[in-house]
């Protein structure tokens, strides 16, 4: 069995940002040479997410609006915000998830028809990492 590991570095210009990373993951899969297996993609930080959904800007705006209603940045009273201001970002990340696992078939990410992989940043404007781990043969 082969294995392959790669990190992507993200550095968003905005505090909140949803970024499509399907092409970078597909490139990592091509570099791995693995034809059949599993591909894990996870955020290495506790205030950002990796998730799969539709590549549609209206939906992305809806996600951000919905998350802001659930965990408003400006709400006072986050017990985590002692010397930090990212209590909301931890909650947003928990809702949107840490990682995705995608089947690898015939050297391709074996997606449903509209699936794309996204990085969700909820406390950005600094360097953060995504881990890609692929196992198979
Ligand atoms: Zn924090």
CATH number at residue 57: 2.60.120.460
User: Cα–Cα–Cα angle for 39, 44, 45, nearest 5°?
Assistant: 145
Ion ligand 1 contact residues with beta carbon within 5 A? 84, 86
Residue 80 belongs to some domain of the structure? no
Residue 129 belongs to some domain of the structure? yes
Domain range enclosing 122 = 2-72+86-136
pTM strictly above 0.85: yes
Task: Say how many Å lie between the CA of residue 26 and the centre of ligand 1.
Answer: 31
Overall number of domains in the chain = 1
Residue 78 belongs to some domain of the structure? no
Task: Say how many Å lie between the CA of residue 119 and the centre of ligand 1.
Answer: 18
76 pLDDT tier (thresholds 50, 70, 90): confident
64 pLDDT tier (thresholds 50, 70, 90): very high
Residue 79 belongs to some domain of the structure? no
C-alpha distance from residue 105 to each of 22, 64, 80, 111 (Å): 16, 32, 42, 10
- At 91, list the tokens: 């909650």
């Amino acid at each position: 069995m082969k294995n392959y590991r790669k990190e992507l570095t993200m550095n968003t210009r905005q505090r909140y940002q949803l970024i499509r990373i399907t092409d970078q993951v597909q490139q990592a899969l091509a570099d791995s040479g693995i034809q059949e297996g599993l591909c894990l993609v996870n955020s290495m930080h506790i205030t950002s997410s990796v998730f799969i959904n539709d590549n549609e800007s209206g939906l992305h705006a809806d996600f951000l609006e919905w998350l802001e209603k659930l965990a408003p940045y400006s709400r006072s009273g986050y017990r985590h915000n002692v010397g930090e201001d990212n209590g909301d970002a931890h909650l947003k990340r928990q809702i949107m998830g840490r990682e995705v696992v995608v089947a690898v078939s015939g050297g391709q990410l074996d997606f449903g028809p509209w699936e794309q992989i996204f990085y969700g940043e909820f406390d950005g404007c600094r360097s953060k990492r995504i881990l890609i781990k692929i196992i198979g043969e």
